[in-house]
């Protein structure tokens, strides 16, 4: 019975050769370079970095090319590559307050110090197809204005001064790491945040949307959404002091949520938090909403039985690589499994028809 799974080698080789040809497409059309993907499909690159959990734009662009634009396949490639790298250490937590912001908006304070910077946004575009892009052409340089050299403080700090906002608890020096230990429940907030930031954008978006539609509604305002560059600092063991080992683009979303108080907490605003590699604001906002919904227990709220409050459900299904691995394996040969199922059904059929015959006699 096992014979059936052998003998596919040539078919597999030929399938992969055809895959390579199809990936290239019509050879009359110029080939796409990795640099072109990195520069011109940047948001796709960002998503692959965020969910692949590895910030390296060139690698993410290569993965997108290899995967023919299949994002989850590209994320899979990055996750697989990541496991081959020795880990040199962990960074200091990034200082998002010192971010060089490309974009920074607040839905709660119009006159936030530092102002509202729209950045290179799709917002306020008309979502009409631009046929000019179908033709090649130079793009005029974007306008510039002298920038305010002062830092852009976090808006949440102003609410904090009035004591109207829940304070964030300090946590362990070394947070739990999903890439080292399997997920254990109940999960602390640091573990949930790691799971959410690398989780599937579509899944996190769906979960967040469910809270807006009334499944554990927590009425979020975007206190601040900022996108920009931060330095990554790490202690260097050979030196005994820290240096900046790189810089990354991240999106950060802080929400304030209406909170009437609970058995343990006074009426105040509570917070949800999203932080994602790259310019990924849909994901960052979604993450903040789901983070807030998952915090019901520590805030002493009621469990309304909503999916977004169920950390076992959310965290176990957020990872698209785990999900697709299990889902897609069912298309691979299960000949032996199925053979036994077939035998079973035939046996049951025989038993039933025997019973019917006996009853008739």
Report the site for other proteins in 292-351 (rule: CB under 8 A): none
- Residue 250 near residue 96 (C-beta atoms within 8 A): yes
CA distances from 310 to 180, 215, 232, 336 (A): 23, 11, 33, 37
Asked if residue 50 binds other proteins (CB under 8 A), the reply is yes
117 touches other proteins by CB under 8 A: yes
Judged by beta carbon, residue 69 or residue 119, the one nearer other proteins is: 119
Among 148, 184, 302, 328, binds other proteins (CB under 8 A): 148
Q: Does 170 bind other proteins (CB under 8 A)?
A: yes
Of residues 44, 48, 49, 220, which one binds other proteins by CB under 8 A? 49
Which of positions 199-238 make contact with other proteins (CB under 8 A)?
231-232, 234, 236, 238
Residue 161 near other proteins by CB under 8 A: no
Q: How far is Cα 86 from Cα 82, in angstroms, rounded to an integer?
A: 9
Query: To 10 degrees, the CA torsion angle through 305, 306, 307, 311?
Result: -60
Q: How far is the CB of 9 from other proteins (least distance, A)?
A: 33
Are the beta carbons of 282 and 296 closer than 8 angstroms? Answer: no
Cβ 349 to other proteins shortest distance, Å: 53
Q: Is 239 in the site for other proteins (CB under 8 A)?
A: yes
| Contact pick of 53, 210, 251, 268 for other proteins (by CB under 8 A) | 53
Q: Is 61 in the site for other proteins (CB under 8 A)?
A: no
Task: Check the CA dihedral 81-284-182-216 and report its sign.
Answer: negative
Closest distance to other proteins from the beta carbon of 228 (Å) = 8
Pick left, alpha or beta for residue 119 (phi over 0 → left; psi -120 to 50 → alpha; otherwise beta).
left
Q: Contact, 256 vs 223, CB < 8 A? A: yes
Binding residues for other proteins restricted to 275-294, rule: CB under 8 A = 275, 277
Rounded to whole angstroms, how far apart are CA atoms 155 and 152? 9
Of the chain, the end-to-end C-alpha distance in Å amounts to 39
Minimum separation from the CB atom of position 78 to other proteins (A): 10
- The answer to the question of residue 193 lying near other proteins (CB under 8 A) is yes
Structure tokens at 49: 């970095």
Please report whether residue 115 would count as binding other proteins according to CB under 8 A. yes
98 counts as binding other proteins under rule CB under 8 A: no
Residue closer to other proteins by CB (options 143, 214) is 143
Cα dihedral angle (238, 244, 248, 254), rounded to 10 degrees?
110
Alpha carbons 342 and 348: distance in angstroms, whole number: 10
Cα separation, 286 vs 197, in Å, equals: 10
At 81, which helix (H) or strand (E)? Answer: helix 71-82
CB of 273 to other proteins, least distance (A): 5
According to the binding rule CB under 8 A, does residue 22 interact with other proteins?
no
**Residue 185 engages other proteins in binding (rule: CB under 8 A):** no
The two three-digit tokens of residue 91, written as one number: 């960074």
Instruction: Among 69, 119, 206, 307, indicate the residue that binds other proteins (CB under 8 A).
Output: 119
Q: Is 252 in the site for other proteins (CB under 8 A)?
A: yes
Identified binder of other proteins from the candidate list 6, 87, 329, 331, rule CB under 8 A: 87
Judged by DSSP in three states, 243 sits in strand
93 binds other proteins (CB under 8 A): yes
């Amino acid at each position: 019975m096992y014979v059936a799974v052998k003998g596919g080698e040539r078919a597999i080789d030929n399938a992969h050769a055809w895959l390579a040809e199809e990936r290239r497409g019509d050879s009359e059309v110029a080939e796409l370079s990795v640099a072109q993907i990195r520069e011109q499909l940047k948001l796709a690159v960002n998503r692959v970095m965020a969910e692949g959990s590895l910030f390296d734009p060139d690698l993410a662009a290569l993965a997108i090319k290899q995967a023919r634009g299949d994002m989850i396949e590209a994320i899979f490639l990055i996750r697989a590559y990541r496991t081959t790298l020795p880990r040199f250490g962990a960074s200091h937590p990034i200082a998002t307050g010192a971010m060089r912001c490309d974009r920074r908006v607040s839905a709660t304070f119009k006159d936030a110090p530092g102002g509202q910077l729209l950045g290179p946004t799709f917002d306020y575009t008309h979502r009409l197809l631009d046929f000019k892009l179908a033709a090649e052409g130079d793009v005029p340089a974007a306008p510039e204005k002298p920038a305010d050299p002062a830092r852009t403080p976090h808006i949440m700090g102003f609410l904090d001064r009035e004591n109207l906002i829940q304070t964030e608890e300090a946590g362990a020096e070394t947070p739990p790491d999903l890439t080292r230990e399997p997920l254990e429940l109940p999960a602390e907030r640091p573990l949930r945040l790691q799971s959410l930031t690398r989780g599937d954008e579509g899944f996190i978006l769906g979960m967040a949307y469910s809270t807006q539609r009334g499944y554990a509604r927590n009425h979020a305002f975007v206190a601040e959404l900022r996108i920009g560059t931060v330095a990554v600092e790490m202690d260097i063991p050979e030196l005994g002091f820290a240096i900046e080992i790189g810089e990354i683009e991240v999106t950060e979303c802080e929400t304030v949520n209406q909170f009437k108080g609970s058995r343990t907490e006074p009426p105040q605003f509570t917070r949800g938090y999203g932080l994602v590699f790259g310019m990924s604001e849909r994901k960052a906002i979604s993450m903040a909403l789901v983070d807030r919904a998952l915090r019901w227990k520590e805030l002493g709220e009621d469990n309304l039985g909503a999916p977004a409050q169920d950390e076992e459900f959310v965290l176990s299904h957020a990872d698209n690589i785990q999900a697709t691995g299990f889902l897609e394996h069912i298309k691979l040969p299960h000949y032996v499994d199925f053979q036994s199922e077939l035998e079973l059904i035939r046996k049951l059929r025989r038993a039933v028809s025997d019973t019917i015959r006996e009853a008739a006699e």
